[in-house]
Structure 1
């Protein structure tokens, strides 16, 4: 099966905010409409809380807004931190979004990692793996046709989706990937560099996991390679710094441009072709708007990727 291509969008505007978030949200939703028109398959949204830059805390709320503005594109969460929520509430909200969208939701979930988020929600971080496993069981039971719910045969969970909502599980470590494959219908991996993505492919192969693999990463193109890197470097540095902060790690080292899928469309297509042969991804999704990138440049880059990168990759990977 040929791979598909999607986009990531986190709806964050790095400080200092240059425009109101109302205006910024409007621009971001316009970018998603453009992505649908260009043929991208899925938009993926993360979940983080207490972020000064406004990184999206409510992916299912945004998913409903996207459903109202689009017709075809699938709407995914990458990832919703299930242990921070009551899974019954997520089952209900996800069912509503899936019905609103005509069956386009892909619920990507994971155990999370940011200590301050667990503390803020009063959830024991050390129990996050257990809560994820328990939550997945609740989701599947809540969406089933059975009237019995957690031993209470008089409790009806409504509305129910009209089809099984795909559950994709995020993972990075060996244990996390094993859990993702055991619990989910597919696996989601985020790594900023091809090298790190390939390391996860090797772990999946070692575990003999053969499920649909969604690779989410960084990709940026411009007609001139130096311009592409000049535009992308601040956003990538910001992303890497934020991830390190959430994980409680130290300051990141200086970026090496050769580590990232950044350059001209032809350069990036060639690298993505080679990467695709090794990764065997079912979908590759990239940040549609790197932090700090303008609406105009984000839209132009989407068009370049759709016109010059994706066709070359699909032709080579047939």
Structure 2
């Protein structure tokens, strides 16, 4: 297995009450993405949700184009675009444009979604989200191919339809999954599976489930991670944000209140502590790519940048060295 790569995850949300204009918050977040590009991270991933009070990003492909203008190396991924909320032909067009302006750096991560109010607001039938996802992925790939679309499915029907512009290479499609059935489908439909779990033990459990239904599937993990030279400072900075983030995710899924986060459950600490945790996690999970929230809710722009710097200069090289003695992943860190 090749050495794993590392990336960053952004949702561009600013918890209430907003302390900065959203235009300024976007500018700061894009500065953080640009810093990740300069520090040699491999990819940036963007979430999608709708109708949230805190402004969680509703338009990841629009933001992908903005990121393309600020970066040169990062792969630009969606994690995830809720495909059943969108017409797949529109997604095919927008994704092709984003891929072209980024010189072929887009990764389209898609999933079936789950939030009832989002489906209701967009007039999408939540009961059919599985077939909407499957048929939508088929339509995306056919839209990007050289041949006209001839598809007669459950939701869409086209004959000799040509969609332009075309991407200049196949855009990778990663698919999210949670349950055994969802992970099996994700492995079947996608070029890789992408998952989010806040805690290392949850990532281990999800990988074990994936291995039961589709062993050997390439896996991108997204999770929570934060470092500081002082472990107490690291936890104090992000504990409120973790509680907020996990509470919001529970709300989207219609679940009740969660217990307060416990420090030992997360990848938070000094660079040395987090390096040790990541090495152990990779040995168990064998992730191909690992991305973390760059700016957990409430974390300052300044501290997000400092944590990125520590991760790039101390954690990632140390993890790579321990996983590949005598070698290492060239992150362009100098």
Contact 1:59/1:80 (8 A) holds in 2: yes
Secondary structure of the residue that 1:150 maps to in structure 2? strand
- What does residue 89 of structure 2 align with? 88
Determine the structure 2 residue equivalent to 1:147: 148
Q: State the 4+ residue runs in structure 1 displaced beyond 6 angstroms.
A: none
The CA deviation at 1:153 is 5.0
Q: Which residue does 1:283 correspond to in 2? A: 289
Query: Of 186, 192, 197, which aligns to 1:186?
Result: 192
Contact 1:181-1:209 within 8 A present in 2 as well: no
- Check the 8 A contact 2:184/2:214 in 1, yes or no: no
SS at match of 1:220: strand
Instruction: Answer whether contact 1:142 1:149 (CA < 8 A) is retained.
Output: no
Where does the alignment leave 5 or more consecutive residues of structure 2 unmatched?
153-157, 325-334
Q: Tell me the equivalent position of 2:17.
A: 16
1:9-41 Cα distance to aligned partner (Å, 9 max, x none)? 000000000010000100000000000000000
Residues 42-53 of structure 1 correspond to what in structure 2 (within 5 A)? 42-53=43-54
Per-residue deviation, residues 47-87 of structure 1 (Å, max 9, x unmatched): 00001100000000000000011111100000000000000
Deviations 1:273-296 (A, max 9, x none): 000111100000000000010100
Deviations 1:166-208 (A, max 9, x none): 0000111111110100100000010000010000111111123
Partner of 1:112: 113
Equivalences for residues 79-228 of structure 1 within 5 A:
79-150=80-151, 152=158, 154-228=160-234
Q: Distance in 2 between matches of 1:155 and 1:177?
A: 31
Secondary structure class of the residue paired with 2:91: helix
Distance 1:25 1:67 in 2: 14
Corresponding residue for residue 311 of structure 1: 317
- Tell me the SS of whatever aligns to 2:57: coil
Write the distance in 2 (CA, Å) between the matches of 1:208 and 1:19: 45
Q: Aligned runs of 1:238-257 on 2, under 5 Å?
A: 238-257=244-263
Instruction: Output one character per residue of 1:150-171: Cα deviation in whole Å (capped at 9) or x when no partner.
Output: 3655421100100000000011
Give me the whole-angstrom Cα distance separating, in 2, the residues matched to 1:149 and 1:171.
28
Equivalent residue in structure 2 for 1:230, among 219, 236, 257: 236
- Following the alignment from structure 2 to structure 1, what is the Cα–Cα distance between the partners of residues 292 and 30? 16
SS at match of 1:239: helix
Q: What is the RMSD computed on CA atoms of the aligned residues?
A: 0.9
Once residues 149 and 48 of structure 1 are traced to their aligned partners in structure 2, the CA distance between those partners, rounded to angstroms, is: 31
Partner of 1:258: 264
| Displacement of 1:211 | 2.3
Please give the residue correspondences for 1:264-279 in structure 2 after superposition, counting only pairs within 5 Å: 264-279=270-285
Question: Is residue 57 of structure 1 aligned with residue 63 of structure 2?
Answer: no
Check whether the contact 1:149–1:156 (CA below 8 A) recurs between aligned residues: no
Structure 1: gaps spanning 5 or more residues:
none
Partners of 2:148 and 2:182 lie apart in 1 by: 32
Shift of 1:149: 3.7
**Contact 2:5/2:42 (<8 A) preserved:** yes
Name the counterpart of 2:329: none
Match of 1:7 in 2: 8
Please give the secondary structure, in 2, of the residue aligned with 1:44: strand
